[in-house]
């Protein structure tokens, strides 16, 4: 509480002493302050007020030397209006005193001399009045504040608040009512509340008010209920209404609080729709899982049995029919996978994983997978990965690979000739994220603007003829678009009809910690022998980014001239890198030995050959190259091989780079057909067809399968014998794969050991795979089981002693080749005599037979002759068909016949004949303007056929 002071003012010191004596200690809660002049009194009041002191009473003499008392009190009143002022006077003029009191708005006056008791009572009464006025002022302030808060609450309330009388006339309403119903407040106040109701409700409401006023009974007071009002524009307004009554005097009023429940009703509707959609999604997901299992299970039998049948003895027609069946089955499986993927996306069941990934590994894996498909169409497949991309990123490698496989697969499908290139560049680097741009460019049929506009829609292709000609569901690109968008990326296409297309997508990927493993090639000069512009560009960009200086020539002859010349001028070449010819040349260097370092002044030679040319070690031996590397090559491996070849790195570093790519993985080529060295496999599968398929596959791989029909039988077999692996179906009668795995893992927890368990399931949902791993399984095989995938799993989990092996795998570089064994004399003579000098193609190459049988000995010579004889039998008919179509001037027929003989000849090792037939095919496909020139080519084919026939007879 603030300090309080009573101020006494008089110029007579005796009077001041008397006041001090009589009032001192007798004024409740106050002390005294004295002043003998007006100016001193004003200064005293200012000081007290500045210090926050309250002045309840001022007692002042009427006559002061510097100012009249009532004038002084007027000034004090202006400074502190709440103060009660008392005038002391000895003047007998009563009228003058009354005038002074009125003029100065004084509380009272006391005549001199005074009675002490009267003085004390008067001053204390003034103090009490001061306290009473201050309390009333505080109460008034609080009341005003309360009214202001209430008014603000009502004005700003989100709920509508309205007051009506017993006649239903609106007495007051807040702005929320206006917002809720669309009327201005002036339109509502003074009108019947029925204007805010629907017509039928308004009539009922008026009667209700009358009955309530008459009887005093109500069924709706003090309860909350939902009602429907009417907006100014006519639409319905849903509100939650609570009504109460109050009286002002004898008048009865009703107040209503209206809460807008329209959003809540819409939310409830959305919630109901959401629950319905979730129920439909659950049903869709269940249907998806069921159909996945039901469709893929029989497909497992179909594809598996076709693979086994393909390994049996079949004649040519049977093998062709089987090939059609196999390709159709795989195409059907692709369609099924597309539909299942799209269904998972639509059902919101597609789960993205996050793992570390290397972009060059990703691109290589896609190129390696699809290279054979491109080569089968004589299309060159070229890859490039920007060295500026961080070596390790984080993302979902499986989904990125799925997008790339779709785009590259489409590019190969719609390209008849030329090339397909895949490039990845760093778009931008922002902090810990990198935005990458993937581009797949082809030289195919191209797309019009209209076709591009609908290309990424589900179940749509460029035109109706596309499906008939090339097949497909039209889902692939739609799936790609959804996957990219789910990764916060963008996808698109630029294309010109007849000039090819570039499909691109960009995605942001977080950067993971990882040091660059790229070697430094600064100062290394490399001469690149290549004819394909895309391959040349990709190689140049990659090697240059590592610091190398790259020059290019188109032929080996140019390289032989340029290497010595460069050494003379002081810019020596450190390595010659030779591309095994563009696809159209079907291997310009891999068929004969001309690439020794001695041919280029002792400079080491790195040959890059397609995988379908054979094992790189054998290709290297045939050509005499110092180093060999298969295409497509991993960028890291290419740079490391170059570094080793020029002495910048030790040879063992290549093994370190190879180890980086996944440790114990089954080699791609040379190990693929080698048997395992024993291994006992327990198989639990309830479907008879699947049991037969996997049993035959395992037997062909050199393994010992024990096949049972359910989990219970597998459990008994497990307890009775020793096994190296268990492959179990997930869904079986009596005991399923999950229960079997749980039981085995519980047994191992007590007895020790760990049996590798591989799930075998037609279910492809992420939940199915997660359930397999959660219960303790080690790996997952999706039905239909393909032998290559089965081999990969076996290689991953079987003991090292059981795995197949070979000195050089298809993916690793080969070096320091041993001299190739001399060919059989008859073949060597035939080749040397018949090879055209201007082309250097051998008449007959036995490399393919060395791949199949090893060294051509007398023991295997009959088998080789049998294969060559079969080729001659078919080639005679094709050669005659070429002559017939030429005589008939049938360009398309000539192209088809020559194309068939190209494949047959090159597959059989008749290199010269194959290349000559390709020239005929190329001329025919381009449209024949000069039939005389074609006649000369056809004659060359006839001559080459005679030479290869003689060479075959000499084997």
Q: Does residue 835 contact residue 955 with C-beta atoms inside 8 Å?
A: no
- What's the pLDDT score for residue 665? 39
Least confident of 41-50, 262-271, 519-528: 262-271
Residue-wise over 314-343: b if at least 16 C-beta within 10 A, else e?
Answer: eeeeeeeebeebbeebbeebeebbbbbbbb
- What's the pLDDT score for residue 762? 62
Share of the chain above pLDDT 70, in %: 78
Tokens, residue 580: 């095994």
How many CB atoms sit inside 10 A of residue 794's CB?
26
- What's the pLDDT score for residue 662? 42
Across the range 698-705, mean pLDDT stands at 84
Is pLDDT of 807 > 60? no
Is pLDDT of 944 > 80? yes
Task: Please list the alpha-helical segments (H only) found in 472-615.
Answer: 476-486, 533-545, 556-568
Is pLDDT of 462 > 60? no
Tokens, residue 365: 């894996």
Q: Is 525 helix (H, G, I), strand (E, B) or coil?
A: strand
Q: Does residue 184 contact residue 173 with C-beta atoms inside 8 Å?
A: no
Reported as a single tens digit per residue, the pLDDT across 646-669 is: 888 877 666 555 545 443 333 333
Least confident of 308-317, 431-440, 848-857: 848-857
Across the range 818-836, mean pLDDT stands at 35
Given the structure tokens 């004084």, which residue do they identify? 106
Reported as a single tens digit per residue, the pLDDT across 625-642 is: 888 888 888 787 888 889
- What's the pLDDT score for residue 153? 82
- What's the pLDDT score for residue 830? 33
Reported as a single tens digit per residue, the pLDDT across 833-858 is: 334 434 567 888 776 566 445 567 77
Tokens, residue 369: 């997978």
Share of the chain above pLDDT 90, in %: 20
Reported as a single tens digit per residue, the pLDDT across 480-533 is: 888 898 899 999 999 888 888 999 999 999 998 765 567 888 999 999 998 888
Across the range 324-334, mean pLDDT stands at 69
Is pLDDT of 826 > 80? no
pLDDT band at 469 (very low <50, low <70, confident <90, very high): very low
Q: How far is CA 274 from CA 28, 261, 286, in A?
A: 75, 19, 18
Is pLDDT of 821 > 70? no
- What's the pLDDT score for residue 582? 52
Q: Does residue 164 contact residue 67 with C-beta atoms inside 8 Å?
A: no
Across the range 731-754, mean pLDDT stands at 90
515 or 203, higher pLDDT:
203
Across the range 172-201, mean pLDDT stands at 87
CA dihedral (671, 675, 680, 682) in degrees, to 10, reads 70
Tokens, residue 783: 């039905």
CA–CA separation, 770 and 772 (whole Å): 5
How many CB atoms sit inside 10 A of residue 571's CB?
11
Q: Which of 335, 321, 296, 415 is nearest to 731 (CA)?
A: 296
907 or 186, higher pLDDT:
186
Cis peptide before 784 (omega within 30 of 0): yes
Is pLDDT of 397 > 60? yes
Across the range 237-248, mean pLDDT stands at 86
Q: Which of 42-56, 59-73, 769-783 has the highest mean pLDDT?
A: 42-56
CA–CA separation, 441 and 407 (whole Å): 9
Least confident of 191-200, 221-230, 279-288: 279-288
Task: Write down how long the chain is.
Answer: 955
């Amino acid at each position: 509480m603030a300090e309080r002071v009573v101020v006494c003012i008089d110029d007579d010191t005796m009077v001041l002493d008397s006041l001090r004596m009589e009032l001192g200690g007798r004024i409740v809660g106050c002390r005294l302050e004295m002043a003998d002049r007006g100016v001193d009194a004003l200064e005293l009041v200012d000081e007290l007020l500045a210090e926050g002191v309250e002045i309840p009473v001022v007692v002042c003499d009427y006559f002061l030397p510097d100012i009249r008392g009532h004038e002084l009190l007027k000034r004090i009143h202006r400074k502190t209006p709440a103060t009660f002022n008392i005038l002391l006077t000895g003047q007998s003029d009563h009228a003058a005193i009354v005038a002074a009191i009125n003029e100065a708005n004084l509380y009272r006056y006391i005549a001199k001399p005074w009675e002490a008791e009267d003085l004390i009572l008067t001053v204390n009464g003034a103090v009490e009045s001061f306290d009473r006025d201050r309390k009333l002022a505080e109460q008034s302030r609080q009341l005003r504040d309360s009214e202001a808060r209430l008014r603000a609450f009502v004005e700003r309330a989100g709920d509508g608040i309205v007051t009506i009388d017993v006649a239903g006339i609106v007495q007051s309403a807040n702005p929320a009512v206006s917002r809720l119903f669309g009327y201005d407040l002036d339109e509502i106040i003074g009108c019947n509340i029925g204007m805010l109701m629907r017509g039928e409700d308004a009539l009922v409401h008026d009667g209700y008010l009358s009955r309530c006023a008459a009887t005093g009974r109500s069924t709706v007071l003090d309860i909350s209920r939902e009602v429907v009002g009417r907006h100014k524009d006519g639409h319905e307004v849903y509100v939650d209404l609570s009504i109460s009554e109050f009286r002002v005097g004898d008048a009865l009023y009703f107040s209503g609080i209206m809460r807008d429940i329209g959003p809540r009703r819409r939310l409830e509707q959305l919630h109901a729709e959401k629950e319905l959609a979730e129920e439909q999604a659950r049903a869709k997901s269940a249907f998806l899982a069921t159909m996945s299992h039901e469709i893929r299970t029989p497909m497992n039998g179909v594809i598996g049995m076709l693979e086994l049948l393909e390994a049996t003895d079949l004649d040519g027609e049977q093998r062709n029919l089987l090939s059609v069946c196999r390709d159709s089955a795989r195409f059907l499986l692709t369609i099924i996978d597309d539909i299942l993927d799209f269904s998972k996306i639509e059902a919101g069941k597609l789960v993205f994983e996050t793992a570390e990934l290397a972009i060059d590994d990703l691109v290589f894996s896609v190129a390696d997978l699809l290279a054979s498909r491109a080569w089968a169409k004589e299309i060159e497949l070229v890859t490039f990965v920007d060295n500026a991309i961080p070596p390790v990123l984080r993302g979902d490698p499986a989904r990125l690979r799925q997008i790339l496989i779709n785009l590259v697969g489409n590019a190969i499908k719609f390209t008849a000739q030329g090339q397909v290139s895949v490039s990845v560049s760093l778009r931008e680097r922002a902090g810990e994220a990198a935005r990458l741009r993937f581009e797949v460019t082809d030289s195919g049929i191209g797309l019009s603007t209209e076709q591009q506009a609908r290309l990424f829609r589900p179940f749509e292709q460029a035109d109706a003829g596309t499906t008939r000609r090339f097949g497909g569901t039209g889902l692939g690109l739609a799936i790609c678009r959804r996957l990219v968008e789910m990764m916060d990326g963008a996808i698109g296409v630029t294309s010109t009809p007849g000039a090819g297309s570039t499909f691109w997508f960009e995605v942001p990927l977080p950067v993971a910690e990882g040091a660059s493993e790229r070697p430094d090639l600064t100062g290394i000069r490399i001469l690149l022998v290549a004819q394909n512009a895309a391959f040349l560009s990709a190689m140049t960009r990659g090697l240059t980014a590592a610091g190398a200086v790259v020059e290019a020539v188109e032929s080996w002859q140019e390289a032989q001239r340029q290497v010595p010349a460069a050494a003379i001028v002081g810019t020596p070449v450190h390595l010659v890198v030779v591309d095994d010819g563009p696809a159209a040349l079907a291997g310009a260097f891999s068929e004969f030995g001309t690439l020794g370092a001695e041919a280029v002044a002792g400079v080491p030679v790195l040959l890059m050959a397609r995988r379908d040319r054979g094992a790189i070690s054998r290709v290297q031996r045939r050509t005499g190259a110092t180093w060999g590397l298969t295409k497509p090559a991993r960028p890291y491996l290419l740079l490391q091989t170059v570094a080793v070849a020029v002495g910048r790195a030790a040879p063992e570093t290549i093994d370190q780079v190879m180890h980086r790519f996944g440790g114990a993985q089954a080699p791609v080529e040379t190990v693929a057909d080698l048997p395992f060295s024993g291994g006992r496999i327990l198989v639990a599968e309830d479907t008879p067809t699947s049991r037969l398929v996997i049993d035959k596959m395992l037997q062909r791989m050199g393994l010992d399968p024990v096949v049972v029909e359910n989990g219970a039988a597998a459990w008994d077999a497990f307890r009775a014998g020793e096994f190296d692996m268990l492959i179990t179906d997930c869904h079986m009668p009596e005991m399923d794969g999950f229960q079997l795995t749980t039981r085995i893992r519980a047994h191992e927890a007590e007895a020790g050991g760990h049996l590798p368990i591989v799930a075998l399931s037609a279910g492809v949902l992420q939940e199915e795979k997660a359930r397999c791993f959660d219960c303790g399984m080690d790996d997952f095989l999706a039905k239909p089981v393909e032998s290559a995938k089965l081999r990969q799993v076996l290689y991953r989990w079987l003991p090292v002693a059981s795995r197949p092996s070979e000195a050089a795998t298809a993916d690793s570089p080969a070096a320091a080749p041993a001299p190739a064994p001399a060919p059989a004399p008859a073949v060597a003579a035939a080749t040397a005599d018949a090879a055209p000098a201007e082309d250097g193609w051998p008449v007959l190459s036995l490399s393919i037979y060395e791949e199949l049988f090893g060294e051509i000995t007398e023991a295997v010579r009959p088998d080789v002759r049998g294969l060559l004889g079969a080729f001659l039998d078919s080639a005679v008919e094709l050669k005659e068909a070429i002559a017939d179509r030429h005589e008939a001037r049938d360009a398309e027929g000539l192209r088809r016949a020559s194309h068939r003989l190209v494949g047959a000849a090159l597959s059989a090792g008749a290199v010269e004949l194959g290349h000559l037939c390709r020239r005929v095919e190329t001329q025919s496909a381009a449209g024949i303007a000069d039939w005389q020139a074609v006649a000369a080519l056809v004659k060359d084919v006839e001559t080459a056929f005679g030479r290869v026939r003689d060479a075959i007879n000499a084997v």
